[in-house]
């Protein structure tokens, strides 16, 4: 159906609007690309599912301190305020992102969850429950940490055992009394177990050891060294980038330091029954509270465009997919370690913005741009069915 000159028409009571570019997700990645699109003078909208800006950060625990100091938390065009060597808290990031969107007048539509993206007439249909957008190009910036993952053994615990995913943890005070087992040896598990151990008995189950890195070395922050040595910008195409991307890092803590702090360490949690959790070394623990700091999965099942590989992962080159005009931004290790971090997402955002700018001419901005694509074959759902 042709789009009328005013860009709007209505079918079956569903309003359809037209935009040159739609950005899905209004977190730091969506805002960073929004900044560049605004600079290019594009006709675009950022669709954000949550009712408030910075939704992902709002859902993190009360005492969270960033592992990146303020000097490395700036999105393009606006420095993160305050002492560059300070590690800000959660609410400061929320305030910064809200200010950022307001300050640049970015067109963020809150309460706008995208339910599907489909190909149509050389562009895309972006569908919400109450309206649809037609767009030439779409950027998916829905975050690297979407769906809380809890292992299946959790179901075997009695209902009397209080258990929840780390994304629901706020503070020790907000938890029922008694000892707490935190499961998961990443940064989140370490930080939560440490905080809980200040006021009660805390246990931490570490499934796989992550590479511990000190937060500060000789008075300088870790990220200063990663910048100075260029490691933060090593790409997944390089040997060192590939090696680094395969290993999670534990910043500013070690198992030994945590033990000294009073946290009791356990091996991988492998089973549960009643109120008992069993560990891979044969030991067991009676539990009353369990926090699953066991990570997140991404969910792209709502994207009905053939850009996924056999295991359901997005097939892309630095966020540029094989489907012309469809991009991803903010994926973990999308291009470098910095891809999913506040201070470096601008590198990929600038790159995608240049691809968007070059799209009409059909000329890729750099190697790997639109002209480098192969033709798509399977959708996410096809791949999942085949797997
Ligand atoms: C515990 C924790 C601590 C971290 N600490 C740091 C740190 O110290 N420094 C640092 O640089 N990084 C840190 N990160 C990593 C990273 O900066 C954050 O995960 C950041 O939130 C990622 O930004 P994003 O914009 O890519 O995704 P998100 O912030 O997750 O934003 C995605 C947005 O998309 C929206 N959305 C999702 N699906 C849809 C849909 N279908 N339709 C519309 N909207 C949708 C969501 O509501 C959300 O607002 C941390 C991450 C975690 C989990």
- 14 beta partners: 11
| Cβ-based neighbours of 31, under 8 Å, separated by 6 or more | 46, 75, 97, 100, 101, 106, 108
Q: Is 169 in the pocket of ligand 1 (CB under 6 A)?
A: no
The whole-angstrom separation of Cα 355 and Cα 348 is: 11
DSSP state of 360: T
In order, the DSSP letters of 137-163 are: EEEE---S--EE---GGGGGB-TTSEE
Q: Are the beta carbons of 298 and 378 closer than 8 angstroms?
A: no
| Rounded distance between C-alpha atoms, residue 380 and residue 321, angstroms | 13
Q: State the distance from the centre of ligand 1 to the C-alpha of 141, rounded, in angstroms.
A: 9
Whether ligand 1 lies within 6 angstroms of the CB of 98 is answered as no
Q: In the Cβ-directed half-sphere of 128, how many Cα atoms lie within 13 Å?
A: 21
Both tokens assigned to 296: 């997140």
Predicted confidence (pLDDT) at residue 369 exceeds the cutoff of 90: no
Q: Compute the distance between CA of residue 178 and CA of residue 341 in angstroms, rounded to an integer.
A: 35
Ligand 1: atom nearest CA of 345 is 26
Gap between the Cα atoms of 372 and 302, Å rounded: 25
Count of CB atoms within 10 A of residue 203's CB?
21
pLDDT of residue 208: 86
pTM across the whole model: 0.90
Tokens of 128: 């919400």
pLDDT score, position 61: 96
What is the reported pLDDT for 15?
A: 81
CA 144–ligand 1 middle distance (angstroms): 6
Under the banding of pLDDT at 50, 70 and 90, the label for residue 2 is: very low
Angle between helices 345-359 and 28-39 (to 10 degrees): 40
Is residue 184 in contact with ligand 1, taking CB distance under 6 Å? no
CB atoms within 10 A of CB 80: 22
The alpha carbon of 304 and the centre of ligand 1 are apart by a number of angstroms equal to 22
Q: Is residue 368 very low, low, confident or very high in pLDDT (cuts 50, 70, 90)?
A: very low
Contact 347, 338 (CB under 8 A): yes
pLDDT digit string, tens, across residues 35-60? 999 999 999 999 999 999 999 999 99
Condensed to tens digits (0 to 9), the pLDDT of residues 139-198 reads: 999 999 989 999 999 999 999 999 999 999 999 998 899 999 999 999 999 999 999 999
In short, whether 128's Cβ falls inside 6 Å of ligand 1 is no
Rounded to an integer, what distance in angstroms lies between the CA atom of residue 246 and that of residue 269? 22
Strand pairing report for 180-183 and 289-292: parallel
Instruction: Tell me the best of 22, 23, 28 to mutate to test the pocket of ligand 1, counting ligand atoms within 8 Å of each CB and taking the most.
Output: 28
Nearest-atom index, ligand 1, CA of 112: 43
Q: Is the CB of 161 under 6 A from ligand 1?
A: no
Per-residue pLDDT band for 3 (boundaries 50, 70, 90) equals very low
Of the chain, the percentage scoring pLDDT greater than 70 comes to: 89
Read off φ and ψ for residue 209, nearest 5 degrees. Answer: -70, 130
């Amino acid at each position: 159906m042709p789009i009328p000159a005013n860009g709007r028409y209505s079918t079956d009571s569903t309003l359809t609007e037209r935009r040159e570019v739609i950005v899905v997700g209004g977190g730091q990645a969506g805002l960073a690309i929004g900044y560049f699109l605004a600079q290019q003078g594009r006709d675009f909208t950022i669709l954000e599912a949550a009712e408030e800006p910075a939704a992902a950060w709002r859902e993190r625990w009360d005492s969270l301190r960033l592992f990146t100091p303020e000097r490395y938390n700036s999105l393009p065009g606006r420095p993160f305020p305050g002492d560059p060597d300070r590690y800000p808290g959660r609410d400061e990031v929320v305030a910064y992102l809200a200010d950022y969107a307001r300050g640049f007048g970015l067109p963020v539509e809150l309460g706008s969850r995208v339910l599907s993206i489909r190909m149509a007439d050389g562009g895309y249909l972006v569908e919400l429950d109450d309206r649809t957008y037609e767009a030439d190009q779409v950027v998916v910036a829905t975050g690297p940490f979407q769906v809380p993952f809890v292992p299946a053994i959790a179901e075997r615990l009695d209902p009397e055992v209080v258990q929840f995913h780390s994304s629901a943890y706020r503070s020790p005070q907000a938890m029922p009394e008694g000892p707490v087992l935190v499961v998961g040896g990443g940064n989140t598990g370490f930080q939560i177990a440490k905080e809980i151990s200040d006021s009660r008995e805390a246990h931490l189950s570490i499934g796989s050891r992550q590479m511990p890195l000190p937060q500060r070395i000789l008075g300088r922050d870790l990220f200063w060294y990663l910048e100075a040595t260029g490691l933060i910008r090593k790409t997944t195409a390089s040997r060192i980038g590939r090696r680094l991307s395969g290993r999670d890092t534990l910043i500013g803590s070690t198992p030994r330091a945590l033990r000294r702090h009073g946290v009791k360490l356990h091996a991988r949690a492998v089973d549960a029954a009643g109120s008992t959790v069993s560990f891979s070394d044969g030991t067991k623990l009676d539990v009353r509270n369990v926090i699953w700091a066991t990570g997140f999965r991404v969910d792209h099942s709502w994207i009905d465009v053939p850009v996924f590989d056999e295991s359901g992962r997005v097939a892309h080159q630095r966020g540029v997919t094989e489907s012309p005009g469809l991009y991803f931004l903010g994926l973990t290790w999308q291009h470098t370690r910095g891809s999913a971090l506040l201070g470096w997402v601008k590198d990929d955002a600038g790159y995608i913005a240049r691809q968007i700018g070059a799209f009409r001419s059909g000329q890729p901005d750099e190697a790997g741009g639109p002209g480098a694509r192969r033709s798509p074959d399977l959708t996410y759902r096809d791949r999942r069915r085949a797997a």
